[in-house]
Structure 1
Amino acid sequence: MKTWLITGASRGIGRELAEQILARGDRVAATLRRPEQLDDLAARYGDRLWRHALDVTDDAQLDAAVAAAFAGLGRIDVVVSNAGFGVMGVAEDLSDDQVERTIATNLTGSIQLARRVVPHLREQGGGVFVQMSSMGGHITFPGFGIYHATKWGVEGYFESFAAEVEPFGITTILVEPGMVRTTFYDAAERVPLSDPYVGGPADVGPLSVEEMPASQSGVAHATIEAALAENPPLRLLVNSDAYEAVTAALRERLSGFEARRDAAYAADAEVGTRPAA
């Protein structure tokens, strides 16, 4: 029996992960702002579900939750950093509070969680750290800028983090879903467009959940399989739209770089250095 720690377990992919992991016979340490939201799972699974209140933007709560989880449960095999939320709106229309809360939850909260669990994972001889990211960490859409900023930040931070902790037997996985049928999209904050942006690139109608290609059960299953794999990938694109959109964006980006190769080399310190023809 393995033990998993999951943040943001109240709904969406976080709750789905908890349900699937418990159903397979493992133990779950679930953190969420209101632990009573998992009363039904507690009634079904008893002491295999451990709950603790946590707001990942509160450092003192993070300290307490991580310490309590490792002290109470001993070894934790997999940590899943899943807490997050979305804000939809163009840069000019967002409030300072929306910018700060999005970064604090999606990016800083993930970083601070990772910093706190690493000593425990290292001391126990290793483990797996799963960071829920998004195809939005590689591509962008108008009106989602602050969300993209956090996911691009997550991608960079955890690629570096993965190399730092690999010698301790800690494996890092970035899970990158596309559009998923979860309550996340419905729960996102939407900022009405101000007049200058009406009719522009960010003025698109809401996407219905039914139009999204991936199910949260499928994303959770793929995440669990990757975490338990003998050689997990650093990055895991999940569902078809994520694969198609991200691979197309990367090909376009590479093509743009290659088209300007001479300009890149022209800036070298030694005048005249050029790439081979």
Structure 2
Amino acid sequence: MASETWFITGASAGIGRAVTERLLERGDRVAATARRVEVLSDLAERFGERLWTASLDVTDTKALNSTVERAFADLGRIDVIFSNAGRGAFGAAEELSEEAIDEQIALNMSAPIHLLRAALPYLRGQGGGRFIQTSTMGAQISSPGGSMYHASKWGVEGFLESVIPEVAPFGVGITMIEPGNIRTGFGAALAIARPLEAYAHTPVGQVRQLIENSGGNLTGSAPGDPARVADAIIDTASRTPAPRRVALGSDAYAAVRQALTGRLDELDAGKSVAESTDFPA
């Protein structure tokens, strides 16, 4: 198989790091971006010029645009844009600070939107490419205390759903990756809101207790294998047509299926009410 060139955000840890390393090991080129690119120095030593790096805060739209421009200028064709940067926040909607709300929207929703917009002129100009977005099973389900995380992920998926048919005529495919729980450092990076006593004995309080008892190691016993997840993500780039969504993990499959069938049941239960609001025949 011919080598490819990928552009990856959030490449320093977790899924982003695993995908970066897997690609380099198989002979591809990677433009890896992260807030702290120095943590990729070991990969730079191993793989040399096949690893292109840039320090990037994806919420800085001006810097994001210039980094994408520079990557295409330096590397020429980029086959796959892997939008992976992001993190979670926990707290009841009332507990979350304005800063936490703004960060979730900026990092998990606005940044991928701006990244795709920045890359599209180049992808169109080269006759196609792929855009892969790290989402979550939490874009199909929800849990107490995760309101803004879910909102940001449901939001970016809604955006991409609309863009998919817009860019298909140009040979650009878009895939949303919906992993379940994976053994990464996701839990340690979770932004946790200051608690309100009113929520102590509610579902939010119960989840908070689980988080506190985990000692920041929420995913230590998760079923998801980061290496296998990375391989599955890389595999989607070669599938034609581009899969719209890919659930990864037995927990993701079960949770998303239950959520979708539950919503379908609710929709069917309201059929007569929906039809009753039409003008009479």
TM-score by length of 1: 0.96
Matched, 1:234 2:234: no
> Is 1:257 aligned to 2:263, yes or no?
no
- Within 5 A, what are the aligned runs for 1:56-205? 56-203=58-205, 204=207, 205=210
Runs of 4 or more above 3 Å deviation: none
**Which one-letter code corresponds to 1:57 in the other structure?**
T
Give 1:72's aligned amino acid: D
2-structure distance, mates of 1:107, 1:26: 28
Aligned residue pairs, count: 271
After superposition, what is the alpha-carbon deviation per residue over 1:195-234, rounded to whole angstroms, capped at 9, x for unaligned? 1101111122125323311022121111001112233311
Kindly provide the amino acid, as one letter, of the partner of residue 129 in structure 2. Answer: G
Report deviation, 1:103: 0.5
Q: What's the counterpart of residue 21 of structure 2?
A: 19
Post-superposition CA distance 1:129-164 (Å, at most 9, x none): 001100000000000110000010011111111111
2:205 corresponds to 1:222: no
Cα distance in 2 between the residues matched to 1:153 and 1:60: 22
For each residue in 1:22-46, what CA deviation from the matched residue of structure 2 results, as whole angstroms up to 9, or x when unmatched? 0010000001112212111000000
- Checking the alignment, whether the CA contact within 8 Å between 2:97 and 2:193 is kept in structure 1 is no
In structure 2, C-alpha distance between the alignment counterparts of 1:226 and 1:171, rounded to whole Å:
10
Q: Which runs of 5+ in 2 are unaligned?
A: none
Partner of 1:244: 254
Partner of 1:6: 8
Report the AA paired with residue 107 of structure 1: M
CA displacement 1:19-71 (0-9 Å, x = unmatched): 00000100000011122121110000000000011111111101110000000
Q: Mean alpha-carbon deviation: is it higher for 194-203 or for 42-51? A: 194-203
Q: Per-residue deviation at 1:76?
A: 0.2
In structure 2, distance between residues paired with 1:199 and 1:132: 33
Q: Residue in 2 aligned with 1:209?
A: 219
Q: CA RMSD in A?
A: 1.0
1:252 partner amino acid: G
Letter in 2 for 1:102: Q
Residue 78 of structure 1 deviates from its aligned partner by: 0.5
Deviation at 1:192, TM superposition (A): 3.8
* Percent of paired sites with the same residue: 47
Tell me if the contact between 2:96 and 2:194 (Cα under 8 Å) persists in the aligned partners.
no
CA distance in 2 between counterparts of 1:213 and 1:199 reads 29
- TM-score w.r.t. the length of structure 2 is 0.94
* SS state at 2:186 partner: helix
